[in-house]
Amino acid sequence: MLYLLIKAGLSGLIIAAVSEIAKRWPGFGALVASLPLISILGMLWLWRDTQDIERMAQHAEGTFWYVLPSLPMFLLIPLLLRKGVSFYPALLAGCGLTVALYLAMTLIGPRFGLKL
């Protein structure tokens, strides 16, 4: 149980740090947010728990393929905000686009040999 609390606490600290950094320096906050810190922590936790090379390789490769459908969200949200859409509807639209693209990746990816 302590291990789970440490994992959750460390991951939460990173998210809190990103939001605090972004309040002062939006560009630097975006840089820190774009770093794969959570993915690296996830891989560290997975490796510590399993030490399974194939599982780790599948996880890292799957993460790559699932990052791609999330990227358009970061273009849609600022576009909508600049067109006068308020924050929450813009965020909802970005999340909706991401979910749709995740579903498309999940359905189409295996047809091209991706194991997701």
What integer pLDDT is reported at residue 30 of this predicted model? 87
pLDDT digits (tens, 9 = 90+) for 65-104: 999 999 999 999 999 999 999 999 999 999 999 999 999 9
The sign one gets for the Cα dihedral 21, 23, 29, 98 is: positive
Assess contact for 34 and 21: CB atoms under 8 A: no
Mean pLDDT, rounded, for 46-54 = 96
Sheet strands (E) in the chain: none
pLDDT band at 107 (very low <50, low <70, confident <90, very high): very high
The whole model's pTM is what? Answer: 0.76
What whole-number distance in Å separates Cα of residue 58 and Cα of residue 56? Answer: 5
Q: Out of 6-10, 29-33, 53-57, give the one with best mean pLDDT.
A: 53-57
pLDDT of residue 76: 98
